[in-house]
Amino acid sequence: MAAETWDTVPLAPPDSIFQLTAAYKADPFPQKVNLGVGAYRDDDNKPWVLPVVKKANEFLLQDPNVDHEYLPILGLPEYTTAAAKLILGPESPALRETRAVSVQTISGTGANHLGALFLSRFYTWDGPKQVYLSNPTWINHFQIFRNVGIEPLTYPYYDPKTIGLDYEGFLDSLRTASPRSVFLLHACAHNPTGVDPTKEQWEKIADIVLERKHYVFFDCAYQGFASGDLDNDAWAVRYFVERGISLLVCQSFAKNAGLYGERVGALHVVAPTKQAADRVRSQLAVLQRSEISNPPAYGARVIALILNDASLFEQWKEDIKTMSGRIIAMRKELHRLLSEELKTPGNWDHIINQIGMFSFTGVNATQSKALTEKAHIYLTTNGRISMAGLNTKNIRYFAENLDKVVRGEL
């Protein structure tokens, strides 16, 4: 008899996004459209290696000093330092006062995990370990926090009636949550809705966070990708730091540098003093050592080159504008097709008001399933679409079928 048969292990369902991609790949239909995956595609529906990444890669290949030795536990210093300046701003009080702790992580997912693990171990919880997540949020947030013993709760965020922000519901949650609660906020390009607060709304959110002494867990996976402007997309994070709010930031270079498979991320914990930062850094090193020992080198070296070389940095900003510009153009064209040409019932202004890679279309689960089963358009059942999956060759096909499903004709 074996020591363990694993008969009591429940069979977990497959990940819905990756299952959707597998179904798309297996579909022989020539006009099939994949609007599920959160990765940029060019107008030919192909992955795009950024020209600046190709150039940085050439530099690395020609550098005789590049080796395959271990990186330090907390990561490549020239990467983490530059990544902190990018998200916090070069003039950030947290950097000026050396009270920000930066750790290289396994992309944004690893940053979320390490940040959650650190809070689980060291945050002085006043009650049960809980985190407030927006309703809806990136589905992986739930499992990441549960894995470290923090129970997710949700706060109102998306209003299906307006296909926009439930601002009052959001503020009410901030006001009624116990003091010193942990709130996860999307820094820009909210996933999955594409709905972001305005600067004025962020200011009011910050007022209540300070008043209630909440802790903010920022997730920033789309800096630059949202508006095409790196500084604009970091505004909320920088503003909260300037206001003296207790926070950490999870950062990813998967989307804005197209380095999805290289897993390049960072966790930045902003502490109140340098002494506190030193203590935080020491414990993050212990946690990192026990999980991955050392982060991977290649992607961090690519980003370090881009961030620390003025000409490469300028080219990267142009590459970001290429990606965000194409997404914005698809939003405008989809809006034009639905509102003006097809005269699809309803108001479609949310398509151009939302920002980033994703858009909540407003169609329900039955309509989403009909689009997939009858029109071979693959999207999640909550009506979220990846705008990056649209291009000049398939946008009309998608708009016409979206129009049909809204009219009940599909």
Q: What is the pLDDT along the chain (410 residues), one digit of tens a residue?
A: 789 999 999 999 888 888 899 999 999 999 999 999 889 999 999 999 999 999 999 999 999 999 999 999 999 999 999 999 999 999 999 999 999 999 999 999 999 999 999 999 999 999 999 999 999 999 999 999 999 999 999 999 999 998 899 999 999 999 999 999 999 999 999 999 999 999 999 999 999 999 999 999 999 999 998 999 999 999 999 999 999 999 999 999 999 999 999 999 999 999 999 999 999 999 999 999 999 999 999 999 999 999 999 999 999 999 999 999 999 999 999 999 999 999 999 999 999 999 989 999 999 999 999 999 999 999 999 999 999 999 999 999 999 999 999 999 98
Q: Which of 308, 342, 371 is the last residue of a domain?
A: 308
pTM: 0.95
The structural domain count of the chain equals 2
Domain-embedded: residue 9: no
Whether residue 83 is found in the same domain as residue 23? no
Whether residue 36 is found in the same domain as residue 181? no
The enclosing domain of 227 has a CATH number of 3.40.640.10
Domain-embedded: residue 155: yes
Secondary structure (DSSP) of 67-117? --PPPPTT--HHHHHHHHHHHH-TT-HHHHTT-EEEEEEEHHHHHHHHHHH
Whether residue 378 is found in the same domain as residue 267? no
Burial class (CB in 10 A: 0-12, 13-18, 19+), 133: buried
Whether residue 338 is found in the same domain as residue 304? no
Domain-embedded: residue 181: yes
Query: What 3-state class would DSSP assign to 323?
Result: helix
Cα–Cα distance measured from residue 388 to residue 386, given in angstroms and rounded to the nearest whole number: 5
Whether residue 372 is found in the same domain as residue 303? no
Both structure tokens of 181: 């609660």
Whether residue 279 is found in the same domain as residue 332? no
Domain-embedded: residue 119: yes
List helix spans (H) across 193-260.
199-212, 230-233, 235-242
Whether residue 178 is found in the same domain as residue 152? yes
Distances (CA, A) of 233 to 69, 118, 197, 315: 35, 26, 12, 18
Cα–Cα distance measured from residue 330 to residue 342, given in angstroms and rounded to the nearest whole number: 16
Active-site annotation, residues:
138, 219, 255
Whether residue 131 is found in the same domain as residue 220? yes
Query: What 3-state class would DSSP assign to 269?
Result: strand
Cα–Cα distance measured from residue 342 to residue 332, given in angstroms and rounded to the nearest whole number: 14
Domain-embedded: residue 281: yes
Domain-embedded: residue 265: yes
Q: Which of 253, 275, 308 is the last residue of a domain?
A: 308
Whether residue 99 is found in the same domain as residue 33? no
Whether residue 380 is found in the same domain as residue 289? no
Q: Which of 285, 308, 331 is the last residue of a domain?
A: 308
Query: What 3-state class would DSSP assign to 267?
Result: strand
The residue range of the domain holding 168 is: 70-308
The enclosing domain of 390 has a CATH number of 3.90.1150.10
Domain-embedded: residue 56: no
Establish whether the linkage from the previous residue to 136 is cis, with ω within 30° of 0: yes
